[in-house]
Chains A and B, each alone.
Chain A
Amino acid sequence: QKEVEQDPGPLSVPEGAIVSLNCTYSNSAFQYFMWYRQYSRKGPELLMYTYSSGNKEDGRFTAQVDKSSKYISLFIRDSQPSDSATYLCAMTGGSYIPTFGRGTSLIVHP
C-alpha cells in the first residue's frame, strides 16, 4: 500500500459544478499538505498548502485536512473549463521530501 492514495479518475463534471478531490494517507507524521495543479504537457505548480488540520480558502479553492481520518480534500466551487487539469496531493512531515499522490485527472466540460 502506498503512503498516499489518490483516485486517478478521470473525473468529468459540467461547468459550474462543485468538485471534490481527495487523498488518503497512512503516515501520522505528515504535517504539511499541499495541492499541485498540472496542465497537460506542463510541470506541476503549487495551488495551495495547509499546515496540520483545518480549512484554508483561496478564491474558488478550499483545502481541508482531517488528520484524525488521515484524509485531505480540495474543493473547487463554480468549476470552469480552465480548471481541467491533473491535481496532485503531496505531504511532508518527518522527512522534508514530499510524498505525492498519483494525481486525479479533472475534466470540466462546458
Chain B
Amino acid sequence: NAGVTQTPKFQVLKTGQSMTLQCAQDMNHNSMYWYRQDPGMGLRLIYYSASEGTTDKGEVPNGYNVSRLNKREFSLRLESAAPSQTSVYFCATGDRGESSGANVLTFGAGSRLTVL
C-alpha cells in the first residue's frame, strides 16, 4: 500500500511558468489537503477538499488552483509561478471530513519546488 503518493518529488521552474503537482491516495479517505512548508512558518494550508466534488480555500490560496478529480486524486496547479512559491509542498488525506473526530492526517513524502 502506497498511502499518499505525490509527483513530482523535485521541480525547478522559471518565473511565469506553470505546473501541476499531483497527489493520489489509496486509503479511501474522503478529505484531502495541500500544505506548503517553509522554514520558520510551519505547515500552511493552501486548499482542501472535504469530499469528492468540493474544494475550499485554506490560509494561503493566492496563486494556486486545485482540482479534486475523483476520490483518489487531488491536484495543485501553479498558473504563473513566482519565487515566493519556492517551498516544499505536502499532500495529505484525512480520515474525517465534515464530521467530528480527530481527523488524523496521512502525508505524502513532499514535492520540493524551486522557482527561479
Seen from chain A, the residues whose Cβ lies within 8 Å of a Cβ on chain B are 6, 8, 31-32, 34, 36, 41-46, 49, 51, 88, 90, 92, 96-98, 100-103
- What is the number of contacts between chain A and chain B, taking CB atoms within 8 Å? 63
B25-72 residues at the A interface, CB under 8 angstroms = 31, 40-43, 45, 48, 50, 58
List 4 other contacts, CB 8 Å, given A88-B42, A100-B42: A31-B100, A43-B92, A45-B106, A49-B104
A43 CA / B34 CA spacing, docked (Å) = 12
Interface size class of B (residues with CB under 8 A): 20 to 34
Q: Which residues of A contact B90 (CB under 8 A)?
A: 43-44
Q: Mostly helix, strand, loop or mixed at chain B's interface?
A: loop
Q: Could you list 18 examples of A-B contacts with CB < 8 Å?
A: A32-B101, A32-B103, A34-B102, A36-B105, A41-B110, A42-B110, A44-B43, A49-B102, A49-B104, A96-B31, A96-B94, A96-B99, A97-B58, A97-B103, A100-B42, A102-B40, A102-B41, A102-B42
Also in contact, A92 and B103, with CB within 8 A (given A41-B110, A43-B90, A43-B109): yes
B74 contacts chain A at the CB level, 8 A cutoff: no
CB distance from A43 to the nearest CB of B (A): 3
**Residue in chain B with minimal CB distance to A101:** B42
Q: B96 in the interface, Cβ–Cβ < 8 Å?
A: yes
